[in-house]
């Protein structure tokens, strides 16, 4: 499990326009992932330098047990990890910030928390963590 101080904070006290832009980025990311649009995923992960090495996907221990890698580094590797694999993830608010949720049987199982400014995506699947998050699914 990720320590609480490493939990992602996408918007925090950011102005509404900033949160709206972050939501747009997450929504576009999910759409590109569902469609296998690798080019768009790369551009979203870093619009200027495709090989940016500080883009990271981190998974908690429960997500790793479900088949995720502990950590994936670099825009191309992270984009490849998501390409065509997130069809069931839904755009959501995660503690008020843009993110995504994968649910099964009406229960949130994996939360995708995006830290836009740091180029990070955290997969949170530990039920003890997920159950404490304020989650609001934004798409049907």
Q: What is the pLDDT of residues 72-113, one digit of tens each?
A: 988 888 888 887 666 788 899 998 888 999 988 889 999 998
Fold of 16-137: Nuclear Transport Factor 2; Chain: A, (3.10.450)
Write down the domain spans for the chain.
16-137
Q: What is the pLDDT of residues 45-78, one digit of tens each?
A: 766 554 455 688 899 999 999 999 999 988 888 8
**CB-CB contact of 131 with 118 (8 Å):** no
This prediction has a pTM of: 0.77
């Amino acid at each position: 499990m990720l320590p609480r101080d490493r939990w992602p904070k996408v918007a925090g006290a950011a102005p509404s326009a900033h949160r709206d832009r972050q939501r747009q980025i997450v929504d576009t990311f999910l759409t590109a992932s569902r469609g296998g649009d690798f080019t768009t995923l790369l551009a979203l992960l870093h619009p200027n330098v495709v090989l940016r090495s500080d883009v990271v996907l981190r998974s908690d221990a429960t997500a790793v047990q479900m088949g995720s890698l502990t950590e994936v580094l670099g825009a191309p590797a992270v984009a490849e990890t998501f390409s065509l694999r997130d069809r069931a993830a839904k755009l959501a608010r995660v503690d008020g910030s843009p993110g995504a949720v994968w649910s099964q049987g009406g229960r949130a199982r994996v939360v995708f928390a995006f830290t836009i400014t740091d180029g990070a995506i955290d997969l949170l699947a530990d039920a003890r963590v997920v159950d404490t998050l304020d989650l609001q699914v934004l798409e049907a």
